[in-house]
Amino acid sequence: MSSGTEQPSGLLAEVDRMRWAMPPQAHDRWVEHLYAEAAGIAEHRVAAAGASTRRAWERRLDRWLTSRATGVPAMLLIFAGVLWLTIVGANYPSSFLAANLIDRGLPFLKGLADAVSLPWWLSGVLLDGMYLTTAWVVSVMLPPMAIFFPLFTILEDFGYLPRVAFVLDNSFRKVGAHGKQALTMCMGFGCNAAGVIATRVIDSPRERLIAIITNNFALCNGRWPTQILIATVFFGALMPGPLQGLTATAAVLTIAVLGVALMFGTSAFLSRTVLKGVASTFSLELPPYRPPAILRTLYTSLIDRTVFVLWRAVLFAMPAGLAIWLISNIHVAGQSVAAWMIAGLDPVGLLIGLNGVILVAYIVAIPANEIVIPTILMLTVLTTGMTEVGSGAGVIFETQGAPLSALLHAGGWTTLTAACLMLFSLIHNPCSTTIYTIYKETGSVRWTVWATLLPIGIGVVLCAAVAAGWHLLAG
């Protein structure tokens, strides 16, 4: 800024004085009139082809999807339908994959290893460790993902997600959050790291931080299989045949809705304490419905999401398999390292309704949620000594009298363990990728730590409360 002394000072000083005489909102009003002028020109000079009014069925559908009476039930029903299709549909391909990859593949590979006389430890590391974990990840995760992602993408393409944001916005406003958090939450149902990146659509920094920190409460695809598997084995099995799918769906939906409730709760907590403020501007376009391009949807959701996420899971599964094999086979003072860890963590685990195996699995599985269940299975196999599961048991999703159910019951699991595992799987620290993404997006160690410790703190407290309540009622 230069001072006016060296310039044609009379004129500039006059301009400066005149600026004070202008009404304070003059600039805003000019801009407003420029826009109005542009709109006027467009109206007169641009001919619109076809009617701009919406078709009757779109209006009727919109009323069903957003009205006071039917908006929220319709939303729950749609998501329940997607889950049910995923749970029921994933059974068959899962059994098929497990039968081939584990039942046939593992003995075949072991045969090969014997034929070339690999040393026992090398075949152990490669086959019992890395191959078996990877095979489990693929057979447990691939089918649900291959069904869930395309269904979700179809809803997205159809234009339903903005309607979800529209229906939920009032709740977000009340907790001091941005309405677009509904969109990043939906994205988080796919992947939390993607959801955290998606918060860039929120322009107010405070509300963006809230969306980032609470995104983890949206159940991500890495955890859906855990939820679906445990719900099927433990809660579905409580019911007779035809009701099993529905019961499992209801259990998973309960957890997902609880996650949404927790997201609202923590958002409210944050916007009243460390991130004080009021909800700011919100505008959301409700686009017209578009018929989803089914083939392109299948292609993009299979390639972009399913294969990408699966590849990441496999990348993390292999080293984790190695770690699991090592801690199970390296013996210290007459016991394997895994057994020591499990025994050490068992009291803590039982206190919060879980057990040592699950806690060790969560420690090994910090890199990725996807491998929690495979890790739990591996560790349970190794600690119960039911090694024949690796070769004899294929049907992971079968419920009644299935080896998986038998295996977990042999590992000391009860319905409480299952309930607490489902809770803990929803409410614990984000996976390492998400934590890293949060750090990159916020550029702040403080908020990264918040986002990491807040959910695990809530999770431990909640699981402990459920366990205490259970024991009180049961005994």
Partner 1 sequence: MLDRIATEDALKHCHECEYRGRPATAESLAGAMGTPLDDASALLARLVERSFLTAQGQGLYALTDEGRVYARRVVRAHRLYETALARDTGFPESDWHARAERKEHVLTDDEVEHLSQRLGHPRWDPHGDPIPTSEGDLPDLHGLEISGCPEGWTGRITHVEDEPNAPYERITRLGLVAGMRVRILSVDGGRCRISADGRVMTLDAAMAAQVHVGELAPGESIDDGLARLSDLAEGGSARVVGLGPGCRGAERNRLLDLGVVPGSVIEIDLVSPSGNPTAYRIRGASIALRREQADHVYVHLGGTAP
Residue found under tokens 């049907």: 395
According to DSSP, the residues that pair with 336 across neighbouring strands are 331
Instruction: Give 282 or 436: the residue with its C-beta nearer to partner 1.
Output: 282
Burial of 378 (0-12, 13-18, 19+ CB in 10 A): buried
Instruction: Give 178 or 223: the residue with its C-beta nearer to partner 1.
Output: 178
Candidate residues 96, 173, 409, 436; the one interacting with partner 1 per rule CB under 8 A: 173
Candidate residues 41, 76, 122, 205; the one interacting with partner 1 per rule CB under 8 A: 205
Distance CA 373, CA 366 (A): 12
Tell how far CA 457 is from the center of its chain.
Answer: 18
Candidate residues 167, 212, 230, 438; the one interacting with partner 1 per rule CB under 8 A: 167
DSSP letter string over 64-83? HHHSTTTHHHHHHHHHHHHH
Candidate residues 78, 96, 100, 204; the one interacting with partner 1 per rule CB under 8 A: 204
Residues that bind partner 1 (rule: CB under 8 A) add up to a total of: 58
- Closest to 465 measured CA to CA, from 360, 327, 347, 351: 351
- Closest to 81 measured CA to CA, from 141, 142, 160, 138: 160
In eight-state DSSP terms, residue 398 is -
Smallest gap, in angstroms, from Cβ of residue 6 to partner 1? 13
Whether the CA torsion 242, 85, 257, 313 is positive or negative: it is positive
Distance CA 124, CA 37 (A): 76
Smallest gap, in angstroms, from Cβ of residue 22 to partner 1? 8
Smallest gap, in angstroms, from Cβ of residue 262 to partner 1? 21
Binding status of residue 281 toward partner 1 by CB under 8 A:
yes
Candidate residues 7, 9, 14, 16; the one interacting with partner 1 per rule CB under 8 A: 16
Candidate residues 10, 43, 47, 241; the one interacting with partner 1 per rule CB under 8 A: 43
Instruction: Give 73 or 469: the residue with its C-beta nearer to partner 1.
Output: 73
Between the CA of residue 440 and those of 158, 193, 454, what are the distances in Å? Answer: 32, 11, 19
Binding status of residue 39 toward partner 1 by CB under 8 A:
yes
Instruction: Tally the residues of the chain.
Output: 475
Instruction: Give 205 or 457: the residue with its C-beta nearer to partner 1.
Output: 205
Give me the 130-159 binding string for partner 1, x by CB under 8 A, dash otherwise: ------------------------------
Candidate residues 71, 349, 374, 394; the one interacting with partner 1 per rule CB under 8 A: 71
Binding status of residue 28 toward partner 1 by CB under 8 A:
yes
Type of residue numbered 249: T
User: What would you report as the CA-atom Rg of the chain, rounded to the nearest whole angstrom?
Assistant: 27
Run of H or E residues at 119: none
Binding status of residue 280 toward partner 1 by CB under 8 A:
yes
Candidate residues 45, 52, 119, 333; the one interacting with partner 1 per rule CB under 8 A: 52
Instruction: Give 3 or 117: the residue with its C-beta nearer to partner 1.
Output: 3
Residue 470, token pair as written in the block: 């259970």
Q: Which residues would be at the binding site for partner 1 (CB under 8 A)? A: 1, 3-4, 16, 19-20, 22-25, 27-29, 31-33, 35-36, 38-40, 43, 48, 52, 54, 62-63, 66-68, 71-72, 165-167, 169-171, 173, 179, 203-207, 276-288
